[in-house]
Amino acid sequence: MTTLPELDGTDWAGTAELWLDPLGDEVVRSDCAVQLGADGLRYTWSHDGEKHRGAITAAPGASSFTDSFHSPQPMACRDVADAWGLLQIQAEYGEASDWRWRIGVSYRTPTEQLVVQMTNVAPWGEEARAVRMVCNRT
């Protein structure tokens, strides 16, 4: 199984998908780029002609997420129990911190693609896709 430190220093490019509609049926696509490091990743993407930047810093018990579109202020994240893939973290947000923002980073071994997926989890448990980036190594 491939690990995040094994991919340290690699660059990726591909397509970002963004779902903003309440039913999650309408996707908006843009180009994206991801740079991996042993301690996380940095990425760029765009929406409505505006370029956005984000970063995930991964450290046991002290991970964080920031994105100029979704969360300009860093969100403190925690590791997800029984995580899969290269990295899986989650943050709580909202007035009562009852919503969750989960981020998973995985490496598709059959196609050698990097996948960054962000999911909203509602207080009642329903999960809604928010962002997915599928990239190939450059």
* Residue 2: predicted pLDDT: 85
Rounded to whole angstroms, the Cα distance separating 126 from 138 reads 35
pLDDT along the chain (138 residues), means of 10: 90 97 89 94 96 93 92 91 85 91 94 96 93 98
| Residue 89, burial from CB neighbour count under 10 angstroms (0-12, 13-18, 19+) | buried
Instruction: Tell me the domains of the chain and their CATH numbers.
Output: 5-137 (2.40.128.20)
* Residue 68: predicted pLDDT: 96
Rounded to whole angstroms, the Cα distance separating 22 from 90 reads 21
